[in-house]
Structure 1
Amino acid sequence: MPIYNKLVRDNIPAIIEKTGKTFTTRLLNDEEYITEINNKLGEELAEYLETTTTEDALEELADLLELIHAAAAYHGSTFEELEKVRVEKAEKRGGFNERIFLLEVEDD
């Protein structure tokens, strides 16, 4: 029996159950949960970096976005509040749309 020991999406147990397979799960406490969200963010980011097609990239970005939603909720916030912070930062510092790559800054 494969051992996974990782955070999975909420419907995964039901999906496994429909296949007739047996499985074991447990609920994580708060500290374990944020640790596993962070682990999963790293896993999904690595998968995104390895993609070779737009379709695969979008799948991995969707997974990252789902984890960002979960992390925001863990921190007592909503995705809408997170988006507001993102917009405020973009208004002050800009986004990344212009593809600017900083080479160096003269040090006085």
Structure 2
Amino acid sequence: MPTYNKLVRDRIPEIIRANGNKFNTEILDEAEYKKELQLKLKEELQEYLEAPEDSHAVEELADMLELIYSLVEVHHSSVEELEEVRKEKREIRGGFDERVYLIDVED
């Protein structure tokens, strides 16, 4: 029996059961949940960085976005507030559309 010890998506136990397998799970407290979300985000970032093709990269970005949505709630906020903060920062500092690469700044 493989041991995973990691946060999984909510429907994974249902999928495992449908495949005729048995499993053990536990529900994490808030501190453990936050820690595991952060670890999972690191895992998904690494998978994104190693993605061999665009379609795989987009899939990993979707996983990261799902984790970000969950982390927003852990930080007692909302996706709407996150989007507002993103828009404010974009308005004040810009986005990354122009591909500006800063080399140095003279004092």
TM bucket, shorter chain = over 0.9
Measured against aligned partners, the alpha-carbon deviations of 1:51-95 in whole angstroms (never above 9, x if no partner) come to 121110110000000000000011111111100100000000001
**Matched residue, 2:60:** 60
SS at structure 2 position matched to 1:32: helix
The runs of 5 or more residues in structure 1 that have no matched partner are: none
Post-superposition shift, 1:42? 0.2
TM superposition score normalised by structure 2? 0.98
Answering whether residue 98 of structure 2 is matched by residue 98 of structure 1, we say yes
What 5-or-longer segments of structure 2 have no aligned partner? none
> Is 2:53 the partner of 1:43?
no
CA distance in 2, matches of 1:91, 1:52: 33
Q: How many residue pairs align between the two structures?
A: 107
Q: Percent identity?
A: 56
Amino acid at match of 1:40: K
Normalization by structure 1: what TM-score? 0.97
